[in-house]
Homo-oligomer: A and B are copies of this chain.
Amino acid sequence: MNLKENEQGGDNVINMYDKINFDNKIYDLLTIGELLIDMISNEFSEKFSCNSYIRKFGGSPSNIAINAKKLGVNSLPISCVGNDGFGDFLISSLEKENVDTSQIIRSKSPTSMVVLTRSKETPIPIFYRGADYQIKYTPTLDEKIKNSKIVHFSSWPISKKQSREVIERVIKTAKESSTLIGFDPNYHKDLWEEENGTSLMKSMIKYTDFIKPSEDDAERLFGKDNPENQIKKFFDLGAKLVVMTLGKDGVIVSDGVNSEKFDTLATNVVDVTGAGDAFWAGFYVGLIKGRNVIDSVKVGLAASAFKLRYVGAISPMPRYEELIKEFII
């Protein structure tokens, strides 16, 4: 990272029993990162023996933007797709969900794609990186960051030099503008050209305000350990708030001083695809609606529980007010 030490924002300590003060910002949530095709096998198979695939809308940051929009805040995805039929499909999918697509740019590279064979063992994805990392730092993006409550990014844009430089400028501007930063530490080694991907990922953590690792994410960064120790490792790297998701075992939230564990609110699990994105969206919307951190974690759990009833990454999501009424949170 080319950021100076005084841009680490070490002063804005987060207390998980406090509400976040968002100043007077006109936009709610920016999400930066991959918008891509998930090409998923129809059949379960080992060793890529299946012939038939379904093309799906994919990309965690855009899924977060869609969920946040449905819950009732304004969200804006920052992404790049190819000038091709897949790019058209992704943009029209966002438009159907009434998400603002004005900041999705086009590249002559093909729309990025992940091919995934469903497998009883761990599926091994094949990553086709094309347009996703051709994002640019524009005057418009600069203005959006300055006037947003939260900017969120995933690990995809930091895995390529070109987009990592954009993210570094995003962080700098966000710090100068008191825009809070959420970071999804979803490390996958095949995304990285560099050998030191985990070191680069770790070096980002101190610039972020919220980090939401899953157990798998933590294991890829630090090796196997229990959740409490993993959380400590994130704080050792400068994290301010860690929400560690444990799947069916709920979440642990910690601000480095206190920590609390919450059970899942899910009672009916149909498909886990996109559950993490629904959690992120609910958590951010909780904060933006004026809840404190731990109450926002509950909104995240409710959004995730709602999503789990439906198949697919893009699925129904009620407005915030209906969600908290249904889950009595």
Contact = CB atoms under 8 A, between A and B. Distances in A.
A48 B117 contact: no
A61 B126 CA distance: 24
A199 interface: no
A319 to B, nearest CB: 29
A113 B85 contact: no
Interface size class of A (residues with CB under 8 A): 20 to 34
A54 B42 CA distance: 10
Nearest to A111: B126
Contacts of A110: 126-128
Interface string A21-64: 00000000000000000010000000111111111100000000
Given A49-B89, A88-B47, A128 B127 contact: no
Contact of A54 (B52, B82, B88, B115): B52
Interface in A52-104: 52-56, 82, 84-86, 88-89
A48 B128 contact: no
A3 interface: no
A90 to B, nearest CB: 10
In the complex, the count of this chain's copies comes to 2
Contacts of A48: 84-86, 88-89
A270 interface: no
A178 B42 CA distance: 50
A124 interface: yes
Contact of A52 (B47, B52, B88): B52
Q: Is the interface of A mostly helix, strand, loop or mixed?
A: mixed
A126 B54 CA distance: 16
A54 B43 CA distance: 12
Contacts of A318: none
A110 B193 CA distance: 12
Contacts of A115: 86
Given A39-B53, A53-B52, A53-B53, A113 B128 contact: yes
A9 interface: no
Contacts of A47: 85, 88
Interface in A115-132: 115, 117, 124, 126-128, 130
29 contacts: A39-B39, A39-B53, A47-B85, A47-B88, A48-B85, A48-B86, A48-B88, A51-B55, A51-B56, A52-B52, A52-B53, A52-B54, A52-B55, A53-B53, A53-B54, A53-B55, A82-B126, A84-B124, A84-B126, A85-B117, A85-B124, A86-B115, A86-B126, A110-B126, A110-B127, A110-B128, A111-B126, A113-B128, A128-B128
